């Protein structure tokens, strides 16, 4: 029983004994070429099923849902990449964040203030979770996961007790209500706002990761925690900071998503499923993977719902299954 950081030494990466996977240039070209052809065929088939305008609307629906998922998945993937913690409570954070947002909007009438309050509250919840609950079992991967799933049940049930079980949308600010008319194409303003937010936040995240000292510490921590700690960086503080930041994004996602997805009990697990699909498809531990994953998952979900509504959940299943069999670490995941 070697608990603690001693056992948290990352194993040297698995020996590349897998003869079935070759990364020779030709096979990579085949891979990309095949994917593009398949994608083109898929788009062509979808376009035979619906009009161009409907196609655009569905695509934007998918992207706006993907945008909400991006806030969740980027935090999830950051926490995993750095600490190897699979925080299944991320869905619970989202739900509680959304509910806090409702209460604040009702009390103050200010949507953006509610966003801030929620995000900060969930950040504090993340701090408590990391310090009190996860610190004692630091490095024990599976217990960590199981603890966060237990936490999700508690959070979901307490939200039900406090905010009730009726589906509740968060009131949007006035200037984001209604639809925007771009040359005859009418689309809800709010969803465009959500996509824009995700693009801005995504750009900031990429910039922070590549260009700042913080980003450098996080990248170094992902690669080799021991060395980072040896260089005099307080890796525990970096961990806590990353966990809090991930929780902050989840709380933010709760408000921004709650305004058009409506909040209801059980949604914590539903958004968690989508976030998991994103990281399984995109690849865990990489911001690029999360960005690619949310686009894929958002679009699949939206077009799946439009074309085969009965199987709306199931449409996620097929691509996930294929990717898991062919690339168990996801499209952009590192081996």
265, 84 contact by CB (below 8 A) = no
From the list 186, 154, 191, the residue with the least C-alpha distance to 176 is 191
Nearer to other proteins, 65 or 190 (CB): 65
Note whether 33 binds other proteins by CB under 8 A: no
Q: In 10 A of CB 282, how many CB atoms? A: 27
Member of 115, 170, 244, 277 binding other proteins (CB under 8 A): 277
Member of 147, 256, 264, 295 binding other proteins (CB under 8 A): 147
Identify the DSSP state of 175.
Answer: G
Give the max Cα distance, the chain. 67
User: Can you tell me whether residue 180 is helix, strand or coil?
Assistant: strand
**Minimum CB–partner distance for residue 53 and other proteins (Å):** 27
From the list 22-30, 65-73, 186-194, 265-273, the region that binds other proteins by CB under 8 A is 265-273
Residue 46: Cβ-neighbour burial (10 angstroms; 0-12, 13-18, 19+): middle
The alpha helices in the chain, defined as continuous H runs, are: 25-49, 52-83, 90-108, 111-128, 141-163, 189-211, 213-223, 225-230, 235-261, 267-282, 287-307, 314-326
Size of the site for other proteins (CB under 8 A): 68
Nearer to other proteins, 197 or 294 (CB): 294
Site string for other proteins, 84-103 (x = CB under 8 A): x-x-x---------------
274, 301 contact by CB (below 8 A) = yes
**Minimum CB–partner distance for residue 58 and other proteins (Å):** 19
Give the interface with other proteins as residue ranges (CB under 8 A): 1-3, 7-8, 10-11, 13-15, 17, 80-81, 84, 86, 88, 133, 136-137, 139-143, 145-147, 149-158, 161, 222-223, 269-270, 272-273, 276-277, 279-280, 284-286, 309-314, 316-317, 320-321, 324-325, 328-329, 333-335
């Amino acid at each position: 029983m070697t608990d603690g950081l001693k056992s948290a030494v990352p194993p040297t990466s698995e020996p590349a004994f897998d003869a079935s996977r070759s990364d020779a240039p030709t096979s990579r070209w085949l891979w990309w070429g095949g994917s593009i052809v398949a994608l083109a065929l898929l788009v062509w088939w979808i376009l035979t099923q619906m009009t161009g305008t409907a196609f655009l609307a569905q695509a934007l629906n998918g992207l706006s849902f993907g945008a909400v998922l991006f806030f969740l998945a980027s935090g999830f993937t950051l926490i995993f990449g750095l600490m190897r913690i699979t925080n299944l409570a991320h869905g619970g954070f989202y739900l509680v964040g959304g509910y806090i947002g409702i209460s604040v909007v009702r009390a103050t009438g200010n949507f953006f203030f509610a966003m801030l309050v929620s995000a900060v509250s969930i950040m504090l919840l993340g701090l408590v979770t990391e310090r009190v609950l996860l610190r004692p079992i630091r490095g024990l991967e599976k217990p960590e996961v199981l603890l966060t799933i237990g936490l999700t049940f508690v959070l979901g049930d307490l939200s039900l007790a406090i905010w009730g079980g009726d589906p509740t949308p968060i009131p949007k600010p006035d200037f984001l209500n209604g639809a925007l008319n771009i040359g005859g194409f009418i689309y809800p303003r709010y969803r465009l706002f959500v996509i824009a937010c995700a693009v801005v936040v995504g750009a900031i995240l990429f910039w922070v990761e590549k260009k700042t000292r913080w980003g450098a510490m996080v990248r170094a921590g992902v690669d080799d925690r021991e060395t980072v700690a040896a260089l005099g960086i307080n890796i525990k503080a970096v961990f806590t900071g990353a966990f809090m930041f991930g929780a902050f994004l989840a709380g933010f996602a709760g408000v921004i998503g709650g305004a058009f997805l409506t909040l209801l009990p059980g949604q914590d697990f539903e958004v968690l499923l989508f976030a998991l699909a994103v990281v399984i498809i995109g690849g865990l531990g990489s911001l690029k993977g999360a960005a690619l994953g949310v686009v894929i998952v958002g679009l699949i979900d939206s077009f799946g719902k439009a074309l085969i509504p009965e199987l709306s959940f199931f449409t996620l299943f097929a691509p996930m299954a294929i990717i898991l069999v062919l690339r168990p670490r996801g499209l952009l995941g590192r081996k």
